[in-house]
A and B are shown apart, each in its own frame.
Chain A
């Protein structure tokens, strides 16, 4: 038990101390943003990493969560916390629908990836055209500071909320990986026919995975809205978030519990540093992004987690010698 959950608890506890040490708004801003990306990536990892179904359109879930929270508040004055909970449910439902349509017709691999991309793009175009969503001008959530409205003057509060969500999903991911459902996810990822022969209802397992995955990424979208209080179609359903959600786990370690968090931290950490030192060149952080991705795929196909594991085993061998 301690072996399985210990590192996760230590990491989250250590991160929770950061706002006490650092109070600079730019740094806290960066941490909140990186945590939102990490959360979206954790969602992607459940479907892409554990179940092996690569989605290219997690924006569909991020955006659905984000719009639910924003529109429930602006149109109907629903309480922000209630809206947050509903947005997670709705994003999960969107995940189930997309999963049902594509898995039922037996889509796999690149076909599944393309279909998810198509769903996200359709949603983006619809959201951009509809007056209900504010169209291209976007939607502003009314500024009304106060814990009851899920709005905080202090950035530290947001760091803790985001951290609590990321921590919860991290622990849940580890629990899933140690459970029967986790074993079935792996079986589906490795070989669907063999899984069926062993009594695994592969369609049900994949549907469960995409629903969970969408709900988590939807929570990231809702959190984004609550933090920035603004949303438009290209933020909500734009390809940027689909890419963020899949690059972070790939860089960090696909199918591992910590991978999405490490990946998001590494990518955005390096991105911010380059902006700091070479801020004069626009887009330089994106160049670095690409370079990191190439380096990962070429030299560390199992991501940072795989690299750490390899280093640990080299170290072990040295010690025993």
Chain B
């Protein structure tokens, strides 16, 4: 579905993404994790077309989309959410979602009907006429998701949709995401909430300092020494293994 081939992105002297490659299979939920500043969001902006890579290619459904701007990738079926939610504050919830729905439904009535259906899907059905500015954080995350879904994407890029939510809100959100995948949308998610990543994702890619350092099934990733070191520092994996019974001085 999505194939990123040795993509590099430099900002001046800083290499934010360093020759990263990853593939996402159709119909799967893939995770992209890594410590803060690893380059996850930058990699997302490259896939969504908001930035052009310094080198490397991005292809989607067999087509090279590296040169396409963001709105054309959206038309092809790549939708993204923003880590820092970006509601159209002056609009109501249903109008917000309708902006996304207009991509495939030029008529007002169709777009609004689509927007209502998507709102129900993410659990915003009861707040349609509310102003987007008046939503809670959890509500805004759902709105962000709904707007992206309204474009009827084939690939959905979720940038920390669970960040800032409390545990019960996260529990409410996980089935929503799984439901989206069950409707045939491939998902790539950046997420820090590990409980969610482990339960949702079939495949995980780990990014550290701009490089993909590991990829595999959740269980393999959790025990991969390179991943543990990326999160906890050099030598951490060895110390954890040396004192399995909870090394107090590690």
Contact = CB atoms under 8 A, between A and B. Distances in A.
Q: Do the two shown chains form a genuine complex with each other? A: yes
Interface of A: 178-180, 183-184, 186-187, 189-191, 193-202
21 contacts: A180-B106, A180-B108, A183-B95, A183-B102, A183-B111, A184-B99, A187-B99, A190-B90, A191-B87, A191-B88, A194-B82, A194-B147, A197-B50, A197-B74, A197-B80, A197-B148, A198-B147, A199-B75, A200-B99, A201-B69, A201-B72
Nearest to A196: B70
B108 A178 contact: yes
Interface string B154-175: 0000000000000000000000
Interface in B71-100: 71-72, 74-75, 79-82, 86-91, 95, 98-100
Is chain A's interface secondary structure helix, strand, loop, or mixed overall?
helix
Nearest to A178: B108
Measured as residues with beta carbon below 8 angstroms from the partner, the interface class of chain B is: 20 to 34
Given A197-B79, A201-B71, 20 more contacts: A180-B106, A180-B107, A183-B102, A184-B102, A187-B88, A190-B90, A191-B87, A193-B86, A194-B147, A195-B99, A196-B69, A197-B74, A198-B74, A198-B100, A198-B103, A199-B71, A199-B75, A199-B151, A200-B103, A201-B69
Contacts of B80: 197
Given A180-B111, A197-B70, A186 B48 contact: no
Contacts of A201: 69, 71-72
The residue among A179, A180, A189, A202 with the most chain B CB atoms within 10 A of its own CB is A180
Interface of B: 48, 50, 69-72, 74-75, 79-82, 86-91, 95, 98-100, 102-103, 106-108, 111, 147-148, 150-151
A196 B70 CA distance: 6
A199 B88 contact: no
B82 A179 contact: no
A278 to B, nearest CB: 39
Nearest to B103: A199
A205 to B, nearest CB: 10
A186 B70 contact: no
The residue among B72, B87, B99 with the most chain A CB atoms within 10 A of its own CB is B99
Contacts of B91: 186, 190
Contacts of A190: 88-91
Contacts of A184: 99, 102
A252 B48 CA distance: 40
B48 A197 contact: yes
Nearest to B147: A198
Given A194-B86, A197-B79, A183 B71 contact: no
